[in-house]
Amino acid sequence: MKAALQTYHARMQRVLDHIDRHLDDDLDLDALSSIAAYSKYHFHRQFTATFGLSVHRYVQLARMKRASYLLASSDAQSITDVAMEAGYDAPDAFARAFRQRFKQSPSSFRKSPDWEPWLAAFGPLDDARSKLMQTTFTPDDVTIRDVPTTRVAIIAHRGDPATLGATIQRFICWRKVAGLHPSTSPTFNVWRSERRPASPADYSVDLCVGTNGPIETNGEQVTAGEIPGGRCAVLRVVGHTHNLEPAALHLYRDWLPASGEEARDFPIYCQRLSFFPEVPEHETAADLFLPLK
């Protein structure tokens, strides 16, 4: 029974990965049911029963999520081009759908995104994906590395995690102006609180970019700091790296007590190795570091 369920989940996971990888293609029922190796007459019902969303709705949301990231993170593409990539034949139809979901026009979102309606709009998509994203880790997935001290520029987020998206956007805009591209300047997150503290006001995370050059604030509250070097337990996470809590739990709850190691007095942190939408969400990667004595 368990093996059959695992096989079923693996087939559905193939469908999600195929959708992420082929958002520009014709993702009709015939194509997706063949990926899952199920009859097209039943596949759409199986998909809806598994994920709580129809295939059409899932694809729509996945395309719109990529479109919103493209708008918020880059001015390289016109709104018309973004609309076409999202599957709309005309920018006005895209604008209507975008405003309906996010309460902003695409041009307004590009200038100043309001992330709370955005988070609410993609709740069903994240819930659907989480049904098959129960990643398990083993002790063999963890390595111990000696890491060097890294000088970083920091934009700190303090307060309700619902507003983290706005801080991330400020961070992205600042580093673009500063010329610190992710391909040449590493990106780190340092968590100084729990992911869900008892009071949302206590949530605390540092958004960091590695740099040895002078730090230009460009009007932002940017501070200089460092991530100290030393021994670290490192766990690589591939796919859907927006939630690293399961990996952190594995390090703290499972690996650390069994290892005989002792944690050092510095918070757990991660280095973002690849980003959506540059790569599909299931190909994003991050290394999680637990500093050790």
Please give the pLDDT value at position 85.
Answer: 86
Would you tell me which CATH number, out of the four given (3.20.80.10, 3.40.50.720, 1.10.287.110, 3.40.1280.10), belongs to the domain 139-291?
3.20.80.10
CB 129 within 8 A of CB 188: no
Of the pLDDT bands very low, low, confident and very high (cuts 50, 70, 90), residue 39 is confident
- Nearest by Cα to 59 from 22, 91, 93, 96: 22
Q: Residue 246 and residue 268: Cα distance in Å, rounded?
A: 13
**What pLDDT, on a 0 to 100 scale, did the predictor assign at position 290?**
96
Greatest Cα-to-Cα distance within the chain, rounded to the nearest angstrom: 61
177-219 tens-digit pLDDT: 888 988 899 999 999 988 888 898 999 999 999 998 888 877 7
Contacts of 119-122 with CB under 8 Å at 24 or more apart are: 119/162, 119/165, 121/61, 121/64, 122/61, 122/65
Burial of residue 198 (CB within 10 Å: 0-12, 13-18, 19+) is exposed
The reported pTM is 0.74
Rounded Cα distance between 113 and 107, Å, is 9
Using CB atoms within 10 Å of the CB of residue 239, give its burial: 0 to 12 exposed, 13 to 18 middle, 19+ buried: middle
- Contact yes or no for 280/238 (Cβ under 8 A): no
2-130 and 139-291 agree in CATH topology: no
Tell which phi-psi region holds residue 82, choosing left (phi > 0), alpha (psi between -120 and 50) or beta: alpha
pLDDT-derived band of residue 272, with 50, 70 and 90 as boundaries?
very high
* pLDDT given at position 133: 59
Q: Domain coordinates of the chain in residue numbers? A: 2-130, 139-291
Convert the pLDDT of each residue in 75-134 to its tens digit. Answer: 778 899 899 888 888 889 999 999 998 889 999 988 888 777 887 888 888 778 776 656
Helix (H/G/I), strand (E/B), else coil: 112: coil
CATH architecture of 2-130: Orthogonal Bundle (1.10)
CB of 24 within 8 A of CB of 85? Answer: yes
Q: Which two structure tokens, joined as six digits, stand for 58?
A: 């899932």
Whole-number Å distance between alpha carbons of 224 and 211:
9
